[in-house]
Amino acid sequence: MTTVLSFLFVLGVLIFVHELGHFWMARRNGVRVLTFSLGFGPKILNIKRGDTEYCISIIPLGGYVKMAGESAEDPRSGAPDEFLSKTKWQRFQILIMGPVMNIALAFVVTTVVLLQGVEAPIYEGQPPVVGAVEAGSAAEKVGIVRGDRILTVAGEAVPTWEAFNMAVGIRPDRDVALTLDRSGQPVSVTVRPSPVSKYEIGMIGVLPDVNPVIRSVTPGDPADKAGFKVGDQVMAVNGQRIVLSSDLVKATSKSAGTALDITLKRGDTEQHVQVTPVKRGDRGMIGIATSEPTRSFQPGPFEAVKLSAQRTVEGSGMIFKTMGQLFSGQASPRQLMGPVAIAQLSGESAQAGWVALLALMSMISLNLGVLNLMPIPVLDGGHILILLLEGVARRDFSLQVKEKLLMAGFVVLMALMVTVIYNDLTRIAWIERLMPWRN
């Protein structure tokens, strides 16, 4: 139920804001609006005020604003309050305001999220110097070693771990050229990232030079009895280096009832501690909570606005770039998400708290706004492109030409929809089991 409600909340807000942009600008330019609908299909709730019918329709996967004389097929009287009676500049304003409102919403919500405080792993903003290489990983197979500094991915500079993870993450199952700095000497390798998790994020098996820090110790549990302290760093388990908290969880989960030799670092001193995980459910646990070293700061209002603007600009650029890589085949279409995946993410975010849910809403709103600006007929960006082309040609295109352009856009959009629906279905375990080519 949480998943459904959070999904409807997120989607409802995004659709309302988008259509409100079209509606407000249409009214501002004197265009008569016939319908303002949240959702498609049969109407389940409607009310009429003036010339406009406001309604909620049964399929909550979109919405629309219907304007008088909106297309050449609509009955037209030539009245000045019809959409096609307006100048190209006025029509441009109406078309672009939907995406602009989504981008503005992303900016506002991100500002609100930032004002709650920021906490992020320290390593994300550091240069991608390899601290460990996972056994059997793609990185190990091509000879990447600890201490290598990753300079470029597919020809793009990656100044931080965050940039590196993004560049590799969108390229699962694709050969990717890396440039490394090894003791001052340039090294070039080609690696094939493996898809990880149901979202098939590309990973090559390199880890930063960090160790988990103990955030809490449960009184009376094995770790407490063995002398673990908050602030200790977990360096190794049975001699195997521990880099991320997930590595520690894996090591302890499979070792219920078996004594482990855990190397802790307290201050500048390392010590070996023996501890035996107890079985709880189907996994072994020692009673600690850990995380990677993080940096925290509380931005003021002006700083939050500045940082939000920066993130919005960077995020928009990354979306355009990723879409270009999708069409060129450099990025994987397997990572595209549809309604089911968004619903799952909404539910997970809602359980993590309202800040996480707002952060997800901001991300989706930015994607919705930017993607609607793509020059694909049927989308707002496609209609804007036709307007611009007509402006350059100094004449309106014929109905036949517009129909062909819209049909081409419709085919592209349907292909994207089929892709995202297929991706969503394969992320549901029992449905994927019915697909023999996926097993």
- Judge whether 303 counts as a catalytic residue: no
Kindly provide the residue ranges of all beta strands, DSSP E only, lying in 77-200, ordered along the sequence: 118-121, 132-133, 149-153, 156-157, 176-182, 185-191, 194-196
What is the SS3 assignment for 30? Answer: coil
Structure tokens belonging to residue 279: 């079985």
> Taking the chain, what is the end-to-end CA distance rounded to the nearest angstrom?
30
Please say whether the dihedral angle defined by the alpha carbons of residues 198, 204, 208 and 212, taken in this order, is positive or negative.
Answer: positive
The span from the CA of 176 to the CA of 206, in Å, is: 14
Phi, psi of 173 (to 5 degrees): 60, 30
The span from the CA of 438 to the CA of 354, in Å, is: 35
From the list 19, 82, 200, 292, the catalytic residue is: 19
Q: Which of 193, 211, 210 is nearest to 202 (CA)?
A: 193
Cα 190 to chain centroid distance, Å, stands at 26
Please say whether the dihedral angle defined by the alpha carbons of residues 318, 319, 324 and 329, taken in this order, is positive or negative.
Answer: positive
C-alpha distances (whole Å) from 158 to each of 132, 178, 195 are 18, 10, 20
The span from the CA of 63 to the CA of 368, in Å, is: 13
The span from the CA of 418 to the CA of 432, in Å, is: 16
Residue 236: beta bridge partners? 241, 263
C-alpha distances (whole Å) from 18 to each of 25, 200, 380 are 11, 30, 11
Structure tokens belonging to residue 34: 């016939």
Q: Which amino acid is at 110?
A: T
Please say whether the dihedral angle defined by the alpha carbons of residues 268, 270, 276 and 279, taken in this order, is positive or negative.
Answer: positive
Report the chain's C-alpha Rg in angstroms: 26
C-alpha distances (whole Å) from 218 to each of 224, 230, 245, 380, 418 are 6, 10, 17, 54, 48
Query: 């419709």: which residue's tokens?
Result: 410
Is residue 217 within 8 Å of residue 234, measured between CB atoms? Answer: no
Residue positions annotated with a catalytic role: 19
